[in-house]
Homo-oligomer: A and B are copies of this chain.
Amino acid sequence: MYDLLAGLSVIEASSFVASPTAGLYCAQMGAEVIRVDQIGGGPDFRRWPVTDANDSLYWENLNRAKKSVALDLGRPEGRELLQALVRATGQFVTNFPVGGFLSHDLLAEGRPDLVTVRVMGWADGSPALDYTVNNSVGYPMLTGAGPDPVNHVLPAWDLLTGAYAAFALLAAIQRRSVTGEGGEVRLPLSDVAIGTVANLGGIAEVLYSGANRPRLGNAVYGLFGRDFVTRDGQRTMIVVVTPRQWANLIAALGLGDAIAVIEGERGVSFAKDDGLRFEHRDALYPLFERAIAARDHAGLAAAFDAGGIVHSPYRTMHDAVQDPALVAGNPIFGQADNPSGFAYPAAGAFATLPQQERRPPASAPRNGQHSEEILSERLSLSSGEIARLVDTGVVGVGAGGEDGL
């Protein structure tokens, strides 16, 4: 938790990964992020992984440091309260549909400087999710050794969309601070995906070559990088991106003479050219396979570290979480009082600001935990009015309700 965004308040009506992470990143930088949730939770409130009590470990991590106002969004009165909160606040992040009761034009009535950031599936409003967008742009057909397509497990498109949404929110606020004008920012997962294919040169590549890139398994396209297995059976990734790393790698493996022979036979120099190291992988890979298969991992890792060589053994997520450099000794983590009651390291902002004090991570809210506070503060509702809304089931306050929250 840092305070870069102190003073900024954002209403968030969102589910799944992309839109919640946009709010999360803002909250971890000090913004007040107010989720407006369906009473009892929205469509992702019980999403796996869950505890034995069916509390979602997914939801409680994607929504740290936020507040929760619970409303019955199926009823006109609940919808009007959400609209009123958006208008009273002026900044809104959502993945609700373009049309309907949360359309920007409707919300901007009475609040013309409203900034709305809306995560979408396809740009035309039809539904899409990370896994289907990924298929649509072709990555599963390039992933793995083949022949079957492999979907990545990391929801990469959701995550990229969420971070870009946070960026776009601040950019739109920056413009408003100059011009006074608000507006809507629409961010379809499909455009993030195909735009990224373009940014990485993928559109140019397939049109230039007229073909798809070959499948490479765990090898990296266009440079020297691949997985190798050591004598003691540790599979490890090695990637070379600088001349120094290349020189140190072949020195560490004692491959200088063998590589000089290949360079002589083929009339090339690998010293400074990523592309040549990739192009001649038929000759290089077997050399490295043999050299690495003759050594144990521990010794190799020490030599690689000394040479500034980029490498990493494959490990499971459970093993990763035990790594003190990643978690226990990492200042981005701290303890928080989670709604599930389960205690574990909680993440704060990814970034570290050496000049600022990092405050500990905060917990996610309970459903409706801040309903009374926010409805009173933002909409000046009296305690009597709020009590009536709670009694009639329009507002939830984090006690009672279908889940006993």
Contacts and interface: CB of A to CB of B under 8 A. Distances in A.
Contacts of A159: 156, 160, 196
A198 B345 contact: yes
A332 interface: yes
Nearest to A242: B43
B199 A21 contact: yes
On chain A, which size bracket covers the interface? 35 or more
A312 B184 contact: no
A187 B314 contact: no
A378 interface: no
Given A133-B312, A138-B316, A237 B345 contact: no
Question: How many identical chains are in the complex?
Answer: 2
Interface string A198-218: 111111111111111100111
A69 to B, nearest CB: 22
A218 B130 CA distance: 12
A373 interface: no
Nearest to A141: B316
B218 A187 contact: no
A302 interface: no
A278 B46 CA distance: 13
A180 interface: no
A269 interface: no
Contacts of A96: none
A137 B174 CA distance: 35
17 contacts: A49-B221, A54-B275, A127-B310, A138-B317, A139-B154, A139-B317, A145-B148, A150-B217, A159-B160, A161-B350, A170-B170, A188-B352, A191-B330, A202-B321, A203-B345, A204-B344, A207-B344
Which A-B residue pairs are the 6 nearest by beta carbons?
A48-B222, A138-B317, A156-B156, A163-B163, A132-B312, A198-B347
